A and B are shown apart, each in its own frame.
Chain A
Amino acid sequence: MISIQTEDFDSGAEYEALRASGAGTGAIATFTGLVRDSGDMQGVSGLFLEHYPGMTEQVIAGLVEEASRRWDVRKARVIHRVGKLLLQEQIVFVGVCSAHRGDAFAACEFIMDALKASAPFWKKELSDTGEHWVEQKASDVARGKVWGK
């Protein structure tokens, strides 16, 4: 399931929902991304996140499908917030259930890396001294390419 939303999410409740995916689940890997105080700028006080409604959901659904072809994925959950987010707020959640840890780790990391490299989201850093649209990092593109994206 994929959700793009302005409101926060309860990562504990999301974990419990993944845990309820049946007795075949032997491993759950989750990733949560937070707003931190330094990016392209120092002294970041928050972020504004924009997305392309419709396309975003399609791109992420394609990544989850691809992950399910490459690894044993019993259930996957992706949440990405948009709008204004303050320091230390949660931005993104990726959770994957598998029979074994190798598949859970790999599928979770793949979805997150490929999302960063290909899903149409844009971050603007906010600070006391102004605003700045974040530039795409070569390292993020490279991490997407590691997975053949």
Chain B
Amino acid sequence: MTEPTLTVRFFARLREELGTEQLTLPAQANQTAGDLLGVLASRGGPWAQLQGGQPVMIAINQAMAKPATPVQAGDEVAFFPPVTGG
């Protein structure tokens, strides 16, 4: 059986500083977007900024979300800096 996973994407300054555009993580039961940030921040180095650093915006399946929003297998979770278009 294949392990359930979810996709994590990074954009702009975060994508550059983490040197990562996209990664696949195992999906855990009862996990929130904030939990994912904690897991990634524990990698240390530039990843530490994901918790307690500059503000990180969250989208789940391309809709804005909050740290408390649950995530599940198959989701596309994106982390990015506050937006600056227009």
Chain A residues near B82 (CB-CB < 8 A): 135-136, 141
Number of A-B pairs, beta carbon distance below 8 Å: 73
Q: Is the CB of B86 within 8 A of A91?
A: yes
Residues of B contacting A: mostly: mixed
Q: Are A120 and B86 in contact (CB under 8 A)?
A: no
Interface flag for B25 (CB, 8 Å): no
* B11 CB to nearest A CB, Å: 6
Which A residue's beta carbon lies closest to that of B59?
Answer: A55
Q: Which residue of B lies closest to A57 (CB)?
A: B62
| B-chain residues with CB within 8 Å of residue A140 when the two chains form the complex | 84, 86
Q: How far is the CA of A9 from the CA of B81 in the complex (A)?
A: 28
Give min CB distance, B76 to chain A, whole Å.
9
The answer on a CB contact under 8 Å between A121 and B78 is: no
A window 110-145: CB within 8 A of B: 112, 115-124, 133-137, 140-141
Q: Give how many A residues have a beta carbon under 8 Å from the other chain's beta carbons.
A: 29
Q: Are B85 and A80 in contact (CB under 8 A)?
A: yes
Q: Does A50 have its Cβ within 8 Å of any Cβ on chain B?
A: yes
Q: Which residues of B contact A (CB under 8 A)?
A: 9, 11-13, 15-16, 59, 62-64, 78, 80-86
In the complex, 30 of the A-B residue pairs with CB atoms within 8 angstroms, ordered by the A residue number, are A52-B9, A52-B59, A52-B62, A52-B80, A55-B63, A55-B78, A58-B62, A80-B85, A80-B86, A92-B86, A115-B85, A115-B86, A116-B84, A116-B85, A117-B83, A119-B83, A119-B86, A120-B83, A121-B85, A122-B11, A122-B12, A122-B83, A124-B12, A133-B13, A133-B16, A133-B81, A136-B81, A136-B82, A137-B84, A140-B86
Having A80-B85, A123-B84, A133-B16, one finds 5 other A-B pairs with CB under 8 Å, namely A112-B86, A119-B85, A120-B85, A122-B80, A133-B12
